[in-house]
Chains A and B, each alone.
Chain A
Amino acid sequence: GAGVSQSPRYKVAKRGQDVALRCDPISGHVSLFWYQQALGQGPEFLTYFQNEAQLDKSGLPSDRFFAERPEGSVSTLKIQRTQQEDSAVYLCASSLRITGIYEQYFGPGTRLTVT
C-alpha cells in the first residue's frame, strides 16, 4: 500500500517568510509524529498527534512552530518567520499504535533551506 508522503519535498524560504509543510500518513494510522533532522544528526522529536488531538508538543523549539491535524488524517507543520537555524529536513512518521503496535513509518521528508 501507499506509504507516508510529504510535500513539498524541497522548500527554499527567505528569512522571515512563513512556510507550511504537509504530511499524508498511511491510511488508518492513528498516530502521527513530526521530527526535525539537522545535517549529520539523528531525528529530533517535535510533536505528536493521536487522531486529531495533539498529545505532546514538548519538542517544538519555539512558538514560531505550530502543527495541526484537524480531521485526524493529514497534518500540517507551520513555521512562522523562518530563521536560518530552521534549515533542516522535517520528517513525518505515522503509526497504528494500537494494542502494542508501535512501529513508526517515515515519509521522505521536506528539506527546508532558509536563506
Chain B
Amino acid sequence: DAGVTQSPTHLIKTRGQQVTLRCSPKSGHDTVSWYQQALGQGPQFIFQYYEEEERQRGNFPDRFSGHQFPNYSSELNVNALLLGDSALYLCASSLMRQGYQETQYFGPGTRLLVL
C-alpha cells in the first residue's frame, strides 16, 4: 500500500500565478481533505471532498478551489498567488463512515514558495 501520495514535493511560483497540487488517497479511501501549514503553525483545514463534491470548507478565500476525480484522487488549485500562500500543503485521506472516528492519513505534503 503506497499510502497517500502528493505531487510535486516542492514548487516555486511568483505572485499572481496559479498553482495546482495533486493528491492520491490511500487505497480504499473515498474522502480527501486539504490542509495548509504555515511555518511554525499547526495545519489549517482548507476543504474536504467526498463523492466528487466539496463537503466542508474552512476559512479560506475563493482563490482556493479543488476537485475530486472518480478515482478519488484530488487537486487543490490556488489562483492569484500571494506571498502569504507560501506554506506546506497537506492532503489527508480517510473513509467516510457515519458515526466512526475515522483516522485521517496524511501525505508528506507539497512545499510551496511564492516569491
Q: Do A and B bind each other?
A: no
